[in-house]
Structure 1
C-alpha cells in the first residue's frame, strides 16, 4: 500500500470519527431536551407515540385499545363477562416501558445506533400482548353450559312377554361448543377487537331415534327349546336368557353372545352344572348357557341375520338338531351375528315352565320368506353336517341358497 493510500484512509477514519462524535453530542443534547419523553418514530400498534411522555402516550393508546366487557347472547339469554372477571389486560404499561427504554439501554453504542436509525425515519413498532386468566374464563363458560346444555334422550323400546310394545320418543340434545367459543374469545382478545358473540352450540342427535323404534313391529324369526327348570342348569338358562334378552341391535351392529352374558361365574349369578370339556361331561360354572345361544341362533337363522361366528358341540345336543346348535365358551368360542337391515332388531327371550323362547323382532318389510335345511354325511365315527338357508320367492319358488355352517359331531 502506498503512503498516499495510507494517508487517505487515516483522513477518512478521522473524518468519520468526528462526524459520529458531533452527531453523538447532538443526540445527547437532543435527548436532554427530550428528557422524560419517548424518542421519535416509535409506535405501539402503529400508533405514533414518539416525543410523548409515558402518561401522554398511555392516554393516546387508550383511545384505541382499552379492554372491554365481553357480551354473549343466545336467543333471549345474555351474559356479560367483565374484563375484571378474567383479569383481561392489554399490558399497555409493559409496551410503554419498552418504548421509553428503547434508546436508554446500558449499551451506549447500541443506543446511538437506534437513535441514528430513528432519526433517519426508520420506524420501531411495538405490539400489545394481551393476557387473561384462562381458568376463570373456563369457570364462567361452565356456568353458561349449565344454563344451556340439554341432555340427548335416546328413543327406547320394551316388548313384554305378551307381545305388547312400549316405546318412548327420542329428543335432541344441545351443548355449548366450548372449543369454538373459547377460540372466538381468544381471537377477539388477540386482535384487541371485542364484539358481541352469538353463543355457538351443537345439536346432539340421538343414536336411537323415534323412527328406529317405531319400525319394530313384527317377529322376523323365533325358536323354542325345552329344559328341566328344577336344576342348576335350568337356573343358568334363566340368567343367560335375561342378560341376552331385551337387546336392541342397530343396523350394521353385531351381537356377541359372550359380550352380552359376560363371564359365566358365581359372581354373575351362574351355578355349577354339566358342561362338555374335551369331549367329556364335567361339572363347570355356566352349564346350560349353550342352550340359550342355540335358541337365539335358530331365531337368528329364520330372521335372516348375517351369521358371523358359530360353533357346533362335540356331540349332538338333545335340545337342537345337528347343524342347528351354537356352542359357546367364554374367552374361546362365541356366537355372533350381524343385523344386515337398515332398521333395528330386538331380541326378546321368554323363559317359563321349562321352556325358553327367543324372538327376533324387526320391521315387517324386512321379513324374508325362507327355511333352514341340513345335509348329513356319516364318515366312520363322525357325522358331518352342512346347514343351508333357502330363500323363497312370492310363489314359494327357490330363489337362492346360502351355506351357513359346516359341523362335525362325534358318534357316542
Structure 2
C-alpha cells in the first residue's frame, strides 16, 4: 500500500519528468555544452543555441562599429570609433547571455525562458567623452562666426558714421552631443546634419540707418573754468553717444556711475538739505537738466524726474532734473519703433544735448508750465503739448509737478 505522503512524492517526480520532457531539457541542454540557452537575446538579436563565437559574429553583423558622419553645407567631418574609443562591449554581453543559465537557479531560469518572456541582454556602449568633446570643439571653431552689431557715431559736426551688422552662426553643441549620444546608445549610427543657430544682431543696419534727424535739442550755459565746469564736461561725455533701442530706458545715474574722484569728478557746490555745500560731482544736475529738456522736445516717455529745492539758474522752473547718485535719478524710455541717439556737446561754457531719431517719429512739440505761488513755495506744473501740421493742439499731457522753496 502507498500512503498519502508517498503518493505526493511520486506525483511531483512524474510532474517534473513531464516538465523536463516538454522543455526538451535533455542531458545535452542542461550540461555545459558551449551553447547559449533558448529564448535569450542580445539587444534584438536572438542568440539561442549559438556558441560564443557564433553569437559574436551575429552581433557584429547586426551592430557594426561605424563612423559618425557630420555634414554642414559643403563641409564634412568623420568621427571613427577609434577616434573616441567607441566600444559596444560585445564580449561582456555575450558572457552574460552564456552564463545566465549556468549559475544559481538555472532550472528556474530555464523554465521561465521556455514558458515566459525572453531574457534580453543590453549592449552597453562606452566611449571617451573628453576626446569626443575635443573633436566637436574643433568643428565649432570652423563654423562659429560671431554676431556683429551695427554701430552709429554722430560727430560734433553732425556727420553720421555707421557700420553694418552681420548675423552670427553658432553650432548648437548641446543638441549635437545629444544626437551623438542617442545614436551611440541605440547603436544606430547615421549621418548627422550639423545643428546650427543663426544669431540675429540686436542692433541691425536698418536700425542705425533710420537715425536721420534731430527730434529734440536743448542748450544751457555754465562757467567753464571751474571744478563745476570740469564736472559738466565729464558728465556730458559719459552720457553722450548712446544708442537707445525701442522700449529701452535711459538712466542718468546708471550711465554716469558714482560721481567720485576716481571717475573724474571734482568737488563743487551742491545742494544738501536746502543748503549749498561743497560735494563731489557738483554740476552734474545741469547735464541731466539739459538732457531732460531735449528728451521732452523729442517726445521721450519720462519715467522719473525730480526738481531742485530752489529754482535753478540754468533752467526755468518746472524744467530742471535734479539727480543724486543712489537716491534720485532721471530716467526716460524710448517710445518709438526706431532707435534714438543721445549726443552731448560741451565746450566754451555751453552744453547742448541733441536727441537724434527717425524722421518718421518727429513730432511738433512745445512745453508750457503753470506756476502757483504760496507763502514760502512755488508749485509748478509742466505740460507737453503735441501739435498737428496746422499747429493746433491735439494732445496735452502733464509731465511733472514741482515744488520750489522761496529763498
Same fold (TM over 0.5): yes
Please give the secondary structure, in 1, of the residue aligned with 2:255: helix
Q: How does 1:31-50 map to 2 (within 5 A)?
A: 31=29, 34-50=32-48
Aligned with 1:56 (options 40, 51, 54): 54
Indicate whether 1:308 and 2:306 are aligned.
no
Residues 384 and 407, structure 1, Cα contact 8 Å, conserved in 2: yes
Indicate whether 1:275 and 2:270 are aligned.
yes
Please give the secondary structure, in 1, of the residue aligned with 2:81: coil
1:7 and 1:136 mapped to 2: Cα distance? 74
Please give the secondary structure, in 1, of the residue aligned with 2:175: helix
1:235 and 1:13 mapped to 2: Cα distance? 112
Structure 2 portions without partners, runs of 5+: none
What residue is the counterpart of 1:411 in the other structure?
406
| Superimposed CA distance per residue, residues 14-62 of structure 1 (whole angstroms, 9 cap, x where no aligned partner) | 4214543786798582246552221122111221211211111101110
Residues 233 and 287, structure 1, Cα contact 8 Å, conserved in 2: yes
Please give the secondary structure, in 2, of the residue aligned with 1:85: helix
What residue is the counterpart of 1:16 in the other structure?
12
Alpha-carbon offset, residue 13 of structure 1: 4.1
| Superimposed CA distance per residue, residues 294-347 of structure 1 (whole angstroms, 9 cap, x where no aligned partner) | 000000000010000000000010000000000000010000000000000000
Alpha-carbon offset, residue 133 of structure 1: 2.3
Alpha-carbon offset, residue 202 of structure 1: 0.9
What residue is the counterpart of 1:82 in the other structure?
80
Please give the secondary structure, in 2, of the residue aligned with 1:183: helix
1:32 and 1:157 mapped to 2: Cα distance? 85
| Superimposed CA distance per residue, residues 70-122 of structure 1 (whole angstroms, 9 cap, x where no aligned partner) | 111111211111112222122212211110111112x2xx2111112224475
What residue is the counterpart of 1:130 in the other structure?
125
Alpha-carbon offset, residue 175 of structure 1: 0.7
Alpha-carbon offset, residue 123 of structure 1: 2.1
1:381 and 1:172 mapped to 2: Cα distance? 60
Residues 41 and 121, structure 1, Cα contact 8 Å, conserved in 2: no
Aligned with 1:177 (options 172, 195, 215): 172
Q: How does 1:90-169 map to 2 (within 5 A)?
A: 90-105=88-103, 107=104, 110-120=105-115, 122-169=117-164
Indicate whether 1:221 and 2:227 are aligned.
no
What residue is the counterpart of 1:400 in the other structure?
395
**Structure 1 stretch displaced more, 205-214 or 89-98:** 89-98
Alpha-carbon RMSD across the aligned residues, in angstroms, is: 1.9
Structure 1 portions without partners, runs of 5+: none
Q: What count of residue pairs does the alignment treat as equivalent?
A: 405
